[in-house]
């Protein structure tokens, strides 16, 4: 699971403006990083441009998922992640970032802003903190713990069933042994009855 990009944009009437972005392109070749970053910026702008106000969507492109959230005030956020990254965590991240961004950056700056003119530094921190969705999102952490508990319970039930099957085998063997013991006792009694000890 990996996050590659976290962007805050403004959806204007005629064009989409990138306000601030953070990227993690360390998994790409050094010579490809700038091209990948440009492509992520272009994709983010295109997705916001084609999304309606007040909407959330996830767009799949090859092994990547682009999660977009466009608020009613035209502020938008895009997360680009791999396909394994949980959508719920991505949208939680977008909502948190857009709320915080709207509190720290004046609304007047949104239509004319740019990554160099907007002073908001929390995106890199969010991008690194949310790389591991289990640690960043309490619900995902609880879900992971529940999944682990299910696995443990499943393994315990399997071992109990195996143990139960072994116990059943022992019981049936002991029942057979009990029958043999009774036969042996009767035979021994008969043989010992001919001789009386005085």
Tell me the C-alpha distance between 134 and 127, whole Å.
Answer: 14
Look at the chain and report how many structural domains it folds into: 1
Domain assignment present for residue 82? The answer is yes
Read off the tokens for 152.
């443990």
For residue 118, the domain's CATH number is: 3.30.450.50
Q: Does residue 133 register a pLDDT over 70? A: yes
- Least confident piece of the model among 16-20, 81-85, 94-98, 141-145: 141-145
Residue with tokens 């396909």: 83
Residue 47 lies in a domain: yes
d(CA 113, CA 94): 19
Q: How confident is the model at residue 132 (pLDDT cuts 50, 70, 90)?
A: confident
Question: Is residue 123, in this structure, part of any structural domain at all?
Answer: yes
Mean pLDDT calculated for residue range 16-44: 87
Assess whether pLDDT exceeds 70 at residue 47: yes
* CB neighbour class for 147 (10 Å; exposed up to 12, middle 13-18, buried from 19): exposed
Whether 180 is covered by a domain: the verdict is no
pLDDT beyond 70 at 41: yes
Does residue 39 lie in a domain region? yes
pLDDT band at 154 (very low <50, low <70, confident <90, very high): low
Domain extent at residue 35: 3-162
Note the pLDDT of residue 77.
92
Residue 198 clears pLDDT 80, i.e. is over it = no
With cut-offs at 50, 70 and 90, classify the pLDDT of residue 139: low
192: in domain: no
**Cβ atoms of 10 and 113 closer than 8 Å:** yes
Q: Is the pLDDT of residue 143 over 70?
A: no
């Amino acid at each position: 699971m990996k996050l590659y990009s976290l962007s805050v944009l403004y959806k204007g009437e005629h064009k989409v403006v990138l306000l601030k972005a953070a990227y993690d392109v360390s998994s790409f070749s050094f010579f490809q990083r700038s091209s990948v970053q440009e492509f992520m910026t272009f994709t983010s702008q295109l997705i916001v441009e084609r999304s309606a106000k007040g909407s959330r969507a996830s767009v799949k492109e090859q092994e990547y998922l682009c999660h977009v959230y466009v608020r009613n005030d035209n502020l938008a956020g895009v997360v680009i992640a791999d396909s394994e990254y949980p959508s719920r965590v991505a949208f939680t991240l977008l909502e948190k970032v857009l709320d915080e961004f709207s509190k720290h950056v004046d609304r007047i700056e949104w239509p004319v802003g740019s990554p160099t003119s907007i002073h908001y530094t929390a995106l890199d921190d969010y991008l690194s903190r949310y790389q591991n969705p289990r640690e960043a999102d309490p619900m995902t952490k609880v879900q992971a713990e529940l999944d682990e508990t299910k696995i443990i319970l499943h393994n315990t039930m399997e071992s109990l069933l195996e143990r139960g099957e072994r116990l059943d085998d022992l019981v049936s063997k002991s029942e057979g042994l009990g029958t043999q013991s009774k036969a042996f006792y009767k035979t021994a009694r008969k043989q010992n009855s001919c001789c009386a000890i005085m």
